[in-house]
């Protein structure tokens, strides 16, 4: 069976619906341990390996980037930066229909985020002027993973909102293809279309370190945005505080809530589209209809035979996937909300009604025509969304990720005088005598 059906709800809660801590590194897979030993010549934890890389980048800059890239990926980086002239040339080499597809995606991402309110406000109702202004970040670094396939969509999904927000300097790091030793044309073309400032050939923890600390070639940034693999995520966690972060991302995930109105072939296709990302990806169906679940199970098996990444998708479904039979649609929605998925697809009648009951999801996809793959590429909102249950407290990448709030405090003399005794009383209670004195001096002259 490629898609297990869970008829026992409690069993499903204990298994497929049980969140695993993807950042728990106590149990490191053997291939990861072997890779660390090969590169470093000794057994290290991922945290130790990343800390060593980051320290070397901080202390030795470009030299460390080149040496470690050669050891990790077997690639020689003569030039870390790819000039803009090469982005344009790569764009011109792309098939016309592919270039137009990327442009349409960028236009829709730009149009969506340009409509997002960026509220600056002031009031004189509290005595003088109080308010907040939102200021674009000066320098942002975007990481776009390469891995098994180039991801130009991820570059657009981060860089375009940054540009809409008014970020002064947008730098992108992405690894070269291990086979060719160069960044694929489609990535260069996406950089050209997005209108970024600089593009660097660099991957994983090394890219995070370079953006956080800066090197002779790569400027340090104020915030790093973008998902990546294990070592990228560990590196982001270790540099937090030196730079800001958009979030820490684990494997991608989709929950589909469906009723009898859903088309089994479409539900199966949506589950498989998520499962093919990664053997650790999660694709779950929640439905009160056993008949639908069984038809989806058949469709998954049939469609798997046609996929280029069938082995990955099958492993993902076997490891984290499943179809859960619920007593009713309301329970299915409640389970989805508790799971807090990156993507929640409502393949039901009246999807807007059920969406109103959802608090926790990176994105809610209303009905079968608003399927998750459109969100990946061309719907408009960024596809960089919270994973691992972090949708409970975090949203997708958006314009607000690229601005910061600055408070404005301009009290009038009368209001300030009236507040000074209160400030002094609290300061004295905290034993901060200099604070109390600063307020007390104002009291003395009034």
Q: Is 343 a catalytic residue?
A: yes
- Among residues 342, 368, 372, 383, the one annotated as catalytic is 342
State the catalytic residue, choosing from 299, 343, 368, 372: 343
Laid out side by side, the sheet with 403-410 consists of: 121-123, 129-136, 403-410
Query: What whole-number distance in Å separates Cα of residue 39 and Cα of residue 64?
Result: 14
- What span, in angstroms and rounded, lies between the C-alpha atoms of 315 and 51? 31
Q: Which of 262, 82, 285 is nearest to 184 (CA)?
A: 82
Q: Are the C-beta atoms of residues 174 and 145 closer than 8 Å to each other?
A: yes
3-state SS, residue 173: strand
DSSP for 343-388?
EEEEESSSHHHHHTT----SEEEESTTS-HHHHHHTSSS-S----T
SS3 46: helix
Residues 5/292, Cβ–Cβ less than 8 Å: no
CB atoms within 10 A of CB 437: 12
What is the end-to-end Cα distance of the chain in Å, rounded? 81
The verdict on whether 342 is a catalytic residue reads yes
Q: Which residues contact 121 (CB under 8 A, 6 or more apart)?
A: 131, 132
442: which strand partners? none
Q: Which residues participate in catalysis according to the annotation?
A: 342-343
């Amino acid at each position: 069976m490629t898609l297990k059906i869970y008829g026992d709800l409690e069993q499903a809660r204990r298994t497929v619906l049980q969140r695993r801590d993807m950042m728990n590194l106590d149990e490191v897979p053997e291939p990861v341990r072997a890779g660390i030993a090969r590169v470093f010549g000794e057994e290290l934890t991922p945290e130790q390996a990343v800390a060593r890389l980051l320290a070397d980048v901080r202390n030795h800059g470009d030299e460390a980037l080149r040496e470690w890239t050669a050891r990790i990926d077997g690639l020689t980086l003569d030039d870390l930066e790819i000039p803009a002239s090469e982005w344009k040339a790569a764009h011109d080499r792309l098939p016309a229909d592919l270039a137009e597809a990327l442009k349409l995606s960028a236009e829709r991402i730009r149009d969506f985020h340009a409509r997002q309110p960026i509220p600056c406000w002031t009031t004189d109702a509290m005595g003088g002027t109080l308010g907040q202004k939102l200021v674009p970040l000066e320098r942002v670094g975007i990481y776009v993973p390469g891995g098994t396939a180039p991801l130009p969509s991820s570059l657009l999904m981060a860089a375009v909102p940054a540009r809409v927000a008014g970020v002064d300097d947008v730098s992108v790091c992405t690894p070269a293809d291990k086979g060719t030793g160069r960044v694929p044309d489609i990535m260069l073309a996406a950089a050209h279309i997005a209108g970024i400032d600089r593009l660097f050939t660099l991957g994983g923890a090394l890219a995070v370190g370079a953006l956080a600390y800066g090197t002779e070639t790569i400027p340090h940034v104020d915030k790093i945005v973008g998902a990546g693999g294990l070592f990228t995520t560990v590196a982001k966690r270790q540099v937090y505080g030196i730079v800001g972060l958009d979030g820490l991302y684990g494997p991608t995930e989709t929950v589909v809530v469906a009723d009898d109105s859903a088309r089994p072939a479409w539900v199966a296709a949506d589950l498989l589209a998520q499962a093919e990302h990664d053997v650790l990806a999660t694709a779950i169906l929640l439905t009160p209809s056993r008949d639908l679940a069984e038809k989806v199970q058949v469709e998954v098996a049939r469609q798997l035979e046609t996929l280029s990444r069938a082995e990955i998708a099958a492993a993902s479904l076997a490891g984290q996937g499943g179809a859960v039979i619920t007593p009713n649609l309301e329970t299915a929605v409640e389970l989805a909300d508790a799971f807090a998925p990156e993507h929640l697809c409502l393949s039901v009648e009246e999807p807007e009604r059920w969406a109103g009951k959802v608090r926790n999801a990176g994105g809610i996809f209303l009905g079968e025509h608003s399927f998750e793959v459109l969100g990946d590429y061309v719907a408009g909102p960024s596809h960089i969304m919270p994973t691992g249950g972090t949708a409970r407290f975090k949203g997708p990448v958006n314009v607000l990720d690229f601005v910061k709030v600055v408070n404005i405090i301009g009290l009038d003399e009368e209001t300030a005088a009236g507040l000074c005794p209160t400030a002094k009383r609290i300061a004295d209670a905290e034993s901060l005598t200099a604070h109390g004195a600063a307020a007390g001096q104002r009291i003395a002259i009034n």
